[in-house]
């Protein structure tokens, strides 16, 4: 048996897997909040200048984060933002790789979730909107209490797919020195001069997390189907 597969090394990789999972959970939650706000801005029918500007900002945000590589975004927040800060203020900025990682993952996920939420909202029966208008229910209350709950039921499968993507994409922050699953595999590879075994173990752990997530999502989907 390889020297890599010791209890200490496996626990070290499990710690990295835990960080990967926490990063994905944080990013999906923050991204969901961003997604709701961006989707609301894109769907706004108001003609006033403020709403028009918000729609432009929302569209640019979605295109920017969906149209550029995740790794580029991570490196921009980690390397580019401190340079911009120093040029503007003349002071150095020290950034935490975990903070950068969750920020980049959240902003990227928010762009994708915005489109998922927008399509989910637009998929709600028009009769629901008309009933709310007839009853005089305000836009904010209507979205919070009636439209969004129905929309989220429709987008559970793609949201789960986004979460699985985030679990895998969390490996990209290994490029800025943050400990997560892939980084822990690289550390063990350097220590033992053997990258094969740690990478295989990391692959098994990623697969385990994504398979379990898919299984749990199917149970949630079935529960929503029963409630409907």
Neighbours of 114 (CB within 10 A): 27
What is the reported pLDDT for 190?
Answer: 92
Q: Is residue 132 part of a domain?
A: yes
Total domain count, the chain: 1
- Tens digit of each residue's pLDDT, the chain (228 residues): 467 788 899 999 999 999 999 999 999 999 999 999 999 888 877 778 888 899 999 999 999 999 999 999 999 999 999 999 999 999 999 899 999 999 999 999 999 999 999 888 888 887 777 787 787 777 677 777 888 788 877 888 889 899 999 999 999 999 998 999 999 999 999 998 889 999 999 999 999 999 999 888 888 777 766 555
Domain-embedded: residue 122 = yes
Tell whether 218 is covered by a domain: yes
Say which CATH number the domain at 113 has: 1.10.3720.10
pLDDT at 224: 64
Is residue 2, in this structure, part of any structural domain at all?
Answer: no
CA distances from 130 to 35, 47, 76, 146 (A): 24, 20, 45, 12
Q: Say if 29 falls within a structural domain.
A: yes
**Is position 30 within any domain?**
yes
Q: Which two tokens stand for residue 6?
A: 């010791």
Is 228 contained in some domain?
A: no
Q: Are residues 38 and 205 in contact, defined by beta-carbon separation less than 8 angstroms?
A: no
Q: Where are the alpha helices (DSSP H) in 136-170?
A: 139-142, 148-154, 156-169
Looking at residue 4, the DSSP 8-state letter turns out to be T
Domain span including residue 34: 7-223
149 lies in a domain? yes
């Amino acid at each position: 048996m390889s020297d890599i597969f010791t209890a200490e090394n496996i626990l070290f990789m499990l710690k990295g897997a835990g960080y990967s999972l926490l990063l994905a959970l944080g990013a999906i939650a923050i991204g969901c909040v961003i997604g709701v706000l961006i989707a609301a801005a894109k769907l706004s029918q108001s003609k006033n200048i403020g709403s028009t500007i918000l729609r432009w900002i929302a569209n640019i945000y979605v295109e920017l984060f969906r149209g550029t590589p995740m790794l580029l975004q991570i490196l921009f927040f980690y390397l580019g933002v401190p340079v911009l800060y120093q040029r503007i203020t003349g002071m150095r900025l020290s950034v935490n790789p975990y903070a950068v990682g969750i920020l980049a993952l959240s902003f990227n996920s928010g762009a994708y979730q915005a489109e998922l939420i927008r399509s989910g909202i637009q998929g709600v029966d028009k009769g629901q909107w008309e009933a709310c208008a007839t009853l005089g229910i305000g836009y904010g209350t209507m979205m919070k209490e009636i439209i969004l709950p129905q929309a989220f039921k429709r987008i559970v499968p793609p949201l789960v797919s986004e979460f699985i993507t985030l679990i895998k994409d969390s490996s990209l922050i290994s490029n800025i020195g943050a400990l997560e699953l892939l980084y822990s595999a690289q550390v063990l590879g350097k220590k033992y001069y053997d990258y094969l075994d740690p990478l295989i173990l990391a692959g098994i752990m990623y697969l385990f997390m994504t398979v379990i997530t898919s299984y749990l999502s199917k149970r949630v989907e079935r529960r929503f189907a029963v409630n409907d």
